[in-house]
Amino acid sequence: MTRRRWIADEVRGDTAALIGEHAAHLARVLRAEVGQEFDIATGDGVRCGKITAISQDRVEFALGAERAGRVQVRSSIPQITLVLSIFKFDRMEWAIEKCTEIGVARIIPLIARRSDSHLATAAVKRQERWQRIVRQASEQSRRAVMAEIVAPVRLKELGGNGALPTSATRVVLAESLVGLDEGMGLREILQARPTEGEVVLAVGPEGGWAEEEFVLFRDSGWIAASLGETILRAETAAIVACALAIDSLR
């Protein structure tokens, strides 16, 4: 039987712990007991963990052997950063969940020109919820390393927040091939360029990028690409783009 996997909040030597709401879910909702065993992702791999202590906001584990079988750590999988423009939260959060399951390394919510002003204001207070979604999706999909989601930024702040890898291929998704050079599909770009396993994908909001944003991307060295001739919803574009990127880099 496959053990449930948890991503540790704390790791010290041969011990690990879940804390806060993370621990409360295991302790109260799942009625965990001392002695139960789970898979614990430590950031360096996955180890067997036996519960040694339980309280309302903390569950502690004694860590045992490394889990046998194929366990991917951060350095062994494609590093995809998704710059996801802010749009309707229910659909955006669905995209965050699914892109995490697919395997993106980090997600950067972006306040775009066409992001609704009320959503842009509210997004600052959603980060804790988004972090919870990312953690749950990482555990559900049995990742060895939790995806990262940072605080929302504006486009002019994007290059200076430290979240973008310096050596990555940066691709901004256009709604279609209209106005782009012939053959500028995402898969073709990623297969033709050396990426060193790191790619940044920028997906626009409902209605697409404003003209001045697209110009700013192009002037900053981003490559414009399309997912095809049809117009996709923002959440669909994000999921398809991440899946194509990860598949192309493996």
Mean pLDDT of 210-214: 89
Report the CATH number of the 74-249 domain: 3.40.1280.10
Contact assessment for residue 44 and residue 146, using Cβ atoms and an 8 Å cutoff? no
Radius of gyration of the chain from its Cα atoms, rounded to whole angstroms: 20
Question: What is the CATH architecture of 5-66?
Answer: Beta Barrel (2.40)
Cβ neighbours around 179 below 10 Å, total: 11
Question: 69: helix, coil or strand?
Answer: coil
Tell which residue, 113, 111, 130, 131, has the closest CA to residue 121.
Answer: 111
Contact 188, 91 (CB under 8 A): no
Paired with 111 in beta bridges are 154
In the chain, the percentage of residues whose pLDDT exceeds 90 is 51
Alpha-carbon distance values, 47 to 38, 40, 131 (Å):
9, 5, 23
C-beta of residue 112 within 8 angstroms of C-beta of residue 205? yes
By residue count, the chain amounts to 250
The whole-angstrom separation of Cα 225 and Cα 198 is: 16
Query: Which residue ranges does the chain devote to CATH 2.40.240.20?
Result: 5-66
Quickly state the pLDDT bin for 179 (edges 50, 70, 90): very low
Backbone angles phi, psi at 41, to 5 degrees: -85, 125
pTM for the model stands at 0.83
Name the strand (E) or helix (H) holding 14: none
Say how far apart CA 198 and CA 77 lie, in whole Å: 10
Q: What average pLDDT does range 182-208 have in this prediction?
A: 79
Per-residue pLDDT tens digits for 95-151: 999 999 999 999 999 999 999 999 999 999 999 999 999 999 999 998 888 899 999
Lowest-confidence pick of 25-34, 159-168, 219-228: 159-168
Rounded distance, CA 102 to CA 141, Å?
A: 8
* The pLDDT of residue 65 is above 90: no
Q: Which residues pair with 50 in a beta bridge?
A: 37, 62
CA distances to 22, 122, 204 from 125, rounded to whole Å, are 19, 6, 21
For the cut 90, the answer to whether the pLDDT of residue 162 exceeds it is: no
Residues of the chain with CATH 3.40.1280.10: 74-249
